[in-house]
Amino acid sequence: MRTATRVLKYELHNVLRSKAVLVYTVLLFLLTDVLFRFGGDGARVVISLLNVVLLLVPLVSVVFGTMYVYAAREFTELLLAQPVSRGSLFAGLYLGLALPLAGAFLAGVGLPFAIHARPDAALWGPLAMLLTAGLLLTLVFTAVAMLLATRFDDRAKGLGGAILIWVACAVLYDGLILLLITMLRNYPLERPVLALTLLNPIDLGRVLLLLQFDTAALMGYTGAVFEKFFGTSTGRMAVLGVLLVQATVPLLLASRVFRRKDF
């Protein structure tokens, strides 16, 4: 692990100085700031940010992440020629990618809240959930980026895969669920739909935020499944847990590929 933290230290130096991360931070900051200036109160800003977090964070994480890992390819080879284990180098690489992106997100969104939002106890829950969702989505989609860039030596394939996965998770997946629901409307679909939702990290992030804003609507659903699931803090914990699993699985796969790979 000491090697991992040494790698991480310099990766952080490098990534934090990259223009892309700076642009990302500034973009999020300006967006949030503008929402405050035009939209008014914190709760409304959180809602307006919902789709930004659910779309932009995964897109930047997976695309920037993939490009970053490819760009670091030769240097990774040089590092692997040093007396370090592949496992710790992998850990350093991932954290060196995920932490700056997560930090950029937290700073870009969090700072405007610190500046503009009036201290309001009712805001902390939604804001905390927004930041948590963004953080977890960053971890998930940087892990996916690691997997893609490690698995495919062909950069076009990896980058194409990144964009494909983003489009699938952000848009197509929900369309398919809706199609399924409409086509099979005579069947009890609550459980399958709930299960399908749990498979897509972007949907999970959305559900976390729904639990903050739209419990009133969710509780209106007569199928007891949603109500039982969403009505409890266990449901919320489960969603957070599944998101962590979704970050861990691609990361473990990527780590496995990385350890066995021929560079």
> Measured between alpha carbons, how far is 27 from 15 in angstroms, rounded to an integer?
17
Q: Rg of the chain over CA atoms, in angstroms? A: 20
Residue 17 engages other proteins in binding (rule: CB under 8 A)? yes
Residue 185 engages other proteins in binding (rule: CB under 8 A)? yes
What angle do the packed helices 121-151 and 86-116 form, to 10 degrees? 150
> Measured between alpha carbons, how far is 223 from 187 in angstroms, rounded to an integer?
12
* Stretch in the footprint of other proteins (CB under 8 A) among 112-120, 132-140, 154-162, 190-198: 190-198
Residue 118 engages other proteins in binding (rule: CB under 8 A)? no
Q: Which of 174, 236, 240, 249 binds other proteins (CB under 8 A)?
A: 174
List Cβ neighbours of 118 (8 Å cut-off, separation of 6 or more): 41, 42
Using DSSP, how many helices (H) and how many strands (E) does the chain show? 13, 0
Residue 167 engages other proteins in binding (rule: CB under 8 A)? no
Q: Which of 97, 99, 139, 209 binds other proteins (CB under 8 A)?
A: 209
Largest CA distance in the chain: 62
Where along the sequence are the contacts to other proteins (CB under 8 A)? 3, 6-7, 9-11, 13-15, 17-18, 43-44, 47, 50-51, 54-55, 71-75, 77-86, 170-172, 174-175, 177-178, 181-182, 185, 189-190, 193-194, 197, 203, 206-207, 209-210, 213-223, 226-227, 260, 262-263
